[in-house]
Amino acid sequence: YGTQSVNNLGHLTIGGVDTVDLTHMYGTPLLVYDIALFKERATAFKETFAKAGIKAQVAYASKAFSSIAIYEVAKEMGLSLDVVSGGELYTAAAADFPREKIHFHGNNKSYTELQFAFDEKIGCIVVDNFLEIEMLKEISESRKEKMNVLLRVTPGVEASTHDYITTGQEDSKFGFDLKNGQADDAVLKLYNHPYITVLGMHCHIGSQIFETDAFRFAAEALMEKMIEWREKFKFICPVLNLGGGFGIRYTEEDKPLHPSAYVEEMEDVVLSMTRKHNYPMPEIWIEPGRSLVGDAGTTLYTTGSSKEVPGVRTYVAVDGGMSDNIRPALYEAKYTAATANRMLDPHADIVTIAGKCCESGDKLIEDAYIAEPAEGDIIAVFCTGAYTYSMASNYNRLPKPAIVFCENGQHQLVVRRETYEDIIRLDIPLQRTEQEIS
């Protein structure tokens, strides 16, 4: 992946940095990002729009991995930012991310979170439901402050890896249904509002999608609705946001297309429908998360104990697990690995890489094909940049790992490892009187 290579010591390098050296400096588990790869992906998305001469915003869906430093890189790359909570918005503000490029998502934003969005004067709120519409009206009217919004709709397409289905109505907790009049009611409530400007529509049809037709279908469904709204309400959407979900290659079974291929499909639908119906070309916004950070991340672990179940398998345990990567336990997600300190050794064995959490399901890889591991080896698990740290927990009170960015032979710590002090920082010991103590 990306700038990964093997040096003359037989060590895995990322961004020109020896990963074994990194483990000596920062310990394990350690999440290492290849920043050049993140930048390459961001550029690929942006250039696909630029080549077609289409105005666009590429928003990094930061739920995939949120930290001040990654927001700084996203800012440097001219990306917009998708946040889904007050916490992500707070992090973006701490990174001094341009507020006008922040889009705020979520199916249950609180009144306080919406006020925070107004305080920060962010670029756009993606409105999800009728309660939110009422809250937005109230906040904007009482503050006499403007806000741009997109309406999140569910186009009746459900997609995941390898296939997609279309349904009349989508059974989803998100957004306004496109087919049963909800989306029409929503736009009617807002499009003439003195403080709220409806920029257009948004949809997100799923994650880790390989199927270009799913994106085509969604784009068509939204364009049709936009055309209908022009007829019915004389209302024109200047923005069409088609979400994220572009699949990446975790293992050889995954066969994603180049990120630009998905964008080109969307462009094709929007260009041809606007021409056919003489509709003004909207800006296209997208929100990739996984496809920007997924394969840029690699987790380094140190191996400890191992156990052979004769005739069945060998378990090799590492010093992290479901606490820093819940995806195998939660979604049966598959990963590949290598022995980072002995990359040139022959692949001797198929082993199960287990975590250290007190739970039988805490296995990172069922069948890893790696050099026979010995205690103290460094195992690299690839493609762990998305939905790992952002979904990490302190299960078993394991401290969360440190994170390092590597680029051009340089490395920088961007999230420090949690300490035991961090782990108990919110705990409050029982308050007892002297009498109770004695």
270 CA to centre of own chain: 25
**Residue 289 among known ligand-binding residues:** yes
With binding defined as CB under 6 A, does residue 291 bind ligand LLP?
yes
Interacting span for ligand LLP (CB under 6 A) from 7-15, 108-116, 289-297, 414-422: 289-297
With binding defined as CB under 6 A, does residue 189 bind ligand LLP?
no
- 373 with 351: CB under 8 angstroms? yes
Least Å from the CB of residue 313 to ligand LLP: 26
With binding defined as CB under 6 A, does residue 287 bind ligand LLP?
yes
Decide whether 11 or 152 has the Cβ nearer to ligand LLP: 152
- 141 with 114: CB under 8 angstroms? no
Tokens of 362: 């805490």
Interacting span for ligand LLP (CB under 6 A) from 40-48, 201-209, 218-226, 296-304: 201-209
Strands 30-34 and 313-318: unpaired
Which of 207, 298, 299, 341 is close enough to bind ligand LLP by CB under 6 A?
207
Provide the annotated active-site residues: 358
Number of C-beta neighbours around residue 347 at 10 A: 12
**Residue 359 among known ligand-binding residues:** yes
With binding defined as CB under 6 A, does residue 245 bind ligand LLP?
yes
With binding defined as CB under 6 A, does residue 170 bind ligand LLP?
no
**Residue 155 among known ligand-binding residues:** no
Listing DSSP states for 273-330 in one string gives: HHHHHTPPPPEEEE--SHHHHTTTEEEEEEEEEEEEETTTEEEEEES--TTT--HHHH
Least Å from the CB of residue 377 to ligand LLP: 27
- Report how far residue 384's alpha carbon sits from residue 180's, in angstroms, rounded to the nearest whole number: 39
Least Å from the CB of residue 250 to ligand LLP: 10
- Report how far residue 23's alpha carbon sits from residue 20's, in angstroms, rounded to the nearest whole number: 5
For residues 71 to 100, the per-residue mask of contacts with ligand LLP, x marking binding by CB under 6 A and - elsewhere, is -----------x------------------
- 60 with 97: CB under 8 angstroms? no
Which of 32, 37, 61, 157 is close enough to bind ligand LLP by CB under 6 A?
61
- Report how far residue 151's alpha carbon sits from residue 160's, in angstroms, rounded to the nearest whole number: 23
- Report how far residue 118's alpha carbon sits from residue 271's, in angstroms, rounded to the nearest whole number: 34
Which of 37, 42, 64, 159 is close enough to bind ligand LLP by CB under 6 A?
64
DSSP 3-state of 431: coil
Strands 378-382 and 297-309: antiparallel
Tokens of 348: 């001797």
Least Å from the CB of residue 124 to ligand LLP: 13
Least Å from the CB of residue 337 to ligand LLP: 18
With binding defined as CB under 6 A, does residue 290 bind ligand LLP?
yes
Residues 321-340 that bind ligand LLP (CB under 6 A): 327, 331
Least Å from the CB of residue 248 to ligand LLP: 9
426 Cβ contact list (under 8 Å, min separation 6): none
Least Å from the CB of residue 431 to ligand LLP: 39
With binding defined as CB under 6 A, does residue 387 bind ligand LLP?
yes
**Residue 418 among known ligand-binding residues:** no
Supply the angle between the helices 212-233 and 182-190 in degrees, to the nearest 10. Answer: 50
R_g (Cα) of the chain, nearest Å: 24
Half-sphere exposure of 108 (CA within 13 A, CB side): 1
Decide whether 66 or 303 has the Cβ nearer to ligand LLP: 66
- CA 428 to each of CA 397, 424, 425, 432, 438: distance values in angstroms, whole numbers, following the listed order: 16, 9, 8, 12, 20
With binding defined as CB under 6 A, does residue 127 bind ligand LLP?
no
Give the interface size with ligand LLP as a residue count (CB under 6 A): 20
Least Å from the CB of residue 392 to ligand LLP: 12
With binding defined as CB under 6 A, does residue 105 bind ligand LLP?
yes
Longest pairwise C-alpha distance within the chain: 84
**Residue 387 among known ligand-binding residues:** yes
- CA 24 to each of CA 7, 27, 175: distance values in angstroms, whole numbers, following the listed order: 17, 6, 47
For residues 345 to 364, the per-residue mask of contacts with ligand LLP, x marking binding by CB under 6 A and - elsewhere, is --------------------
With binding defined as CB under 6 A, does residue 103 bind ligand LLP?
no
With binding defined as CB under 6 A, does residue 204 bind ligand LLP?
yes
Binding residues: 245, 287-290, 327, 331, 359, 387
Binding site, annotated residues for pyridoxal 5'-phosphate: 245, 287-290, 387
Binding-site positions for substrate: 290, 327, 331, 359, 387
Name the residues that contact ligand LLP, by CB under 6 A.
61, 63-64, 82, 105, 204, 207-208, 243-246, 287-291, 327, 331, 387
